[in-house]
Structure 1
């Protein structure tokens, strides 16, 4: 075979790098899918014991509850809500927050049981919120109580 024809012979065609990136993306997507299924199907009680996930979950709960209480206080200060309605909304959000963070069923507890439970630091705030909700002659300012509720949520250990 003459040497001048060797210049027409080439090696195998290399594969496109697109296939490599597609395989990497699909692998990451598969691992993410399994992690998501694992985390979303895990019971809430056990989810808090996972170190990184539990801390992120608590931070998200705290952030969402504080943002909601601030929005209720802003709506009250803007005149969109009455004092009773704002007190009820703040109380509901604080009780929901306490239940999510501690597991104590604060939504259904009376104040005397709250004072004897592990969420007793929240009892004075909840007492003020009950006074605002049910006492039309209450001298408590809903704006200040909502700030206290936001501070309680942000500082809850």
Structure 2
């Protein structure tokens, strides 16, 4: 083999630069995804201080809770759900919303503690729901209580 053919021998071809930019872009997207998951799953009080994210999270919690309470009320009015299970489901959903909106562990609080604290405006609705759930002689209209819970969630700030 002659030496004049050696000029055609070269090393491996280098990678294209777009592979580097693709790797950097995917890394940034992955980091942003983990940050978003972390921020949106934080308890209510810590995230409420963030201006845009806190407001967006609060609105999403409101919409989800209103939709759930409305569905429970509709099922109760249609006769698919009795008064006791409907009252329990609405109470559970309302307490979950209050916990998501304020960070207060409303799911585990008694009515006296709710009435004495920052969640006092929710106490009358929760009292009606508790009465409908645990009092066999209750005269509380669960459909009206569902409407009250929906209005409370809608007006919560």
TM-score grouping bracket, smaller chain normalisation? 0.7 to 0.9
Aligned-pair CA distance for 1:30: 4.3
- 1:35 corresponds in structure 2 to 32
Q: Structure 1: state its 5+ residue gaps.
A: 1-18
CA RMSD between the two structures: 2.1
**Aligned residue number for residue 4 of structure 2:** none
Query: Which residue does 1:118 correspond to in 2?
Result: 118
Please list every run of 5 or more consecutive structure 2 residues that lacks an aligned counterpart in the other structure: 1-16
> Which region of structure 1 is more displaced relative to structure 2, 29-38 or 115-124?
29-38
Deviations 1:72-113 (A, max 9, x none): 000101111110110000000000100111111111111111
Q: Deviations over 1:107-128 (max 9, x none)?
A: 1111111111100000000000
Partner Cα distance (1:26, 1:73) in 2: 50
Judge which range, 127-136 or 34-43, deviates more. 34-43
Find the aligned partners of 1:24 and 1:139 in 2 and give their Cα distance: 67
Task: Give the Cα–Cα distance (whole angstroms) in 2 for the partners of residues 94 and 59 of structure 1.
Answer: 15
CA distance in 1 between partners of 2:25 and 2:59 (Å): 26
TM-superposed CA distance for 1:27, in Å, is 6.2
- Residue pairs, 1:1-157, within 5 angstroms: 29-42=26-39, 43-44=42-43, 45-157=45-157
TM-score (norm 1): 0.79
**Deviating more after overlay: 29-38 vs 68-77:** 29-38
Q: Secondary structure at the match of 1:41?
A: helix
Give the Cα–Cα distance (whole angstroms) in 2 for the partners of residues 47 and 23 of structure 1: 35
Cα deviation, residue 57, structure 1: 0.5
Please give the alpha-carbon distance, in whole angstroms, between the structure 2 residues aligned to 1:70 and 1:29: 41
Runs of 4+ aligned residues of structure 1 deviating over 6 Å after TM superposition are 22-27
How many residues matched? 138
Q: What is the CA-CA distance between 1:135 and the residue it aligns to? A: 1.4
1:23 & 1:62 partners in 2: Cα distance? 43
